Amino acid sequence: MDFLDLPAVKTARGTVHLPGSKSISNRVLLLAALADGATEIRDVLVSDDTARMLDALQTLGVSIVKANDKVYRIQGISGHFPLKFPVGEASLFLGNAGTAFRPLTAVLALAVGSYRLSGTPRMHERPIGDLVDALRQLGADITYLGNVGFPPLEIKPAHIRASNIAVRGDVSSQFLTGLLMAMPFCAPDSNQEQVITVAGELISRPYIELTIALMARFGMHVEHENWRRFTVCAGKRYRSPGEIFVEGDASSASYFLAAGAIGAGPVRVEGIGRDSLQGDVHFADALIKMGARITPGANWVEARAPASGYLQAIDLDCNHIPDAAMTLAVTALFAKGTTVLRNIASWRVKETDRLAAMATELRKLGAAVDEGADFLRITPPAGPLATHAVIDTYEDHRMAMCFSLASFGTPVRINDPNCVAKTFPDYFGQFSAIVQA
């Protein structure tokens, strides 16, 4: 459908079982494909982004059996130096899935084969030059097929050599994730230590912690010094853990937790808990700062509105929750005072320029918004939200999901609601099930 009209609602109450994490699903799918042995992966996210990874792996000749919608059995290729996939020449279309495009670029650049990687027009606007520069330090042969520094890419067989490399950390953590996952394939000797040095600030560190934790599940250990210098042993093989479960998506949890904080609650999300691997689970801490009442469990988190009934504005460095911070921007419409979200420059190179898009759409609802290079300052309107706002989503799933929360103040129209298929196809059905007029 072209648009979805959401009526004004007042309260939220209920339980939501989260879909699988996109970040975990795509990492585990690739690691399982590279590993020695078969891996059964349960609770895989069913979405466009994971479909792109699965399609790519099957095109590369990886054996994948679908047991049901959320369970896949992958026979790994027992990857080792020199890395070879069953199919040595292929063209891969990866949509707008950064969690597929960046790691696959790194792995295929160190493989013996000829590959072309392309995506949507927006994917071709998202930078990849820092990753390519780092891979070229290892001898990779990568050619830009369009604008320099951006996809699409052509990768050809090259003489890969062990070498300590450096990569910028302030554009996308996915560059470092891809390099870490690929490092075992750059040398034949398991005693050869590969060192990656991060230049500049490392943004979105929790996503790197996630990558390292999942690599460890497949028997590959990464050492680091103050998150600046990372060491991986080359020449080792990933080993299948046999079975692995995908956590619920912590970024998706943020919309429902915010709904509970805005709309009285309680709203409980199941699939993540106090020991979650994902950084966005700390979105709940931001809600606590705003006054919300949060109760965590082993595999669930519950949110209620403040006892006072009013959320309070916050001033927060959001480097540790870059995706969930978008939810805070809309939650700020229901908080007393001016909310400032800092250290979010990475928003500009996501599915859209999220800083500009968020500022534009918040203003439609009557908010005063100051958009900086790496921050947003948001003051809600003194009175009710502007009525009958039409929210553009810029082909960005998170814009659509975030702005559903505006319906706690006014009816809203969400343009292109189907963009949520990227990570959460049933989002609006789940949202409507917990809200009441």
What are the structural domains of the chain? 3-19+247-436 (3.65.10.10), 22-227 (3.65.10.10)
For the stretch 254-307, pLDDT in tens is 999 999 999 999 999 999 998 899 999 999 999 999 999 999 999 999 999 999
For residue 388, pLDDT over 90 is answered with no
Distance CA(191)–CA(297), nearest Å, equals 42
Catalytic one among 249, 280, 323, 392? 323
Half-sphere exposure of 216 toward its Cβ, with a 13 Å CA cutoff?
Answer: 10
For the stretch 328-340, pLDDT in tens is 999 999 999 999 9
State the chain's mean pLDDT as an integer.
Answer: 96
Distance CA(363)–CA(381), nearest Å, equals 9
How much is the average pLDDT of 76-94? 97
In this prediction, residue 189 carries a pLDDT of 83
pTM for this model (two decimals): 0.94
Backbone angles phi, psi at 344, to 5 degrees: -125, 30
What's the per-residue H, E or C state across the chain?
CCEEEECCCCEEEEEEECCECHHHHHHHHHHHHHCECEEEEECCCCCHHHHHHHHHHHHCCCEEEEEECCEEEEECCCCCCCECCCCCEEEEECCCCHHHHHHHHHHHHCECCEEEEECCCCHHHCCCHHHHHHHHCCCCEEEECCCCCCCCEEEECCCCCCCCEEEECCCCHHHHHHHHHHHHHCCCCCCCEEEEEEECCCCCHHHHHHHHHHHHHCCCCEEEECCCEEEEECCCCCECCCEEECCECHHHHHHHHHHHHHCEEEEEEECCCCCCCCHHHHHHHHHHHCCCEEEECCCEEEEECCCCCCEECCEEECCCCCCCHHHHHHHHHHEECCEEEECCHHHHHCCCCHHHHHHHHHHHCCCEEEECCCEEEEECCCCCCCCCEEECCCCCHHHHHHHHHHHHCCCEEEECHHHHHHCCCCHHHHHHHHEEC
For the stretch 12-57, pLDDT in tens is 999 999 999 999 999 999 999 999 999 999 999 999 999 999 999 9
Distance CA(82)–CA(391), nearest Å, equals 50
Residue 323 annotated among the catalytic residues of the structure: yes
Q: Roughly what angle, to the nearest 10 degrees, separates helices 22-34 and 98-109?
A: 20
In this prediction, residue 179 carries a pLDDT of 98
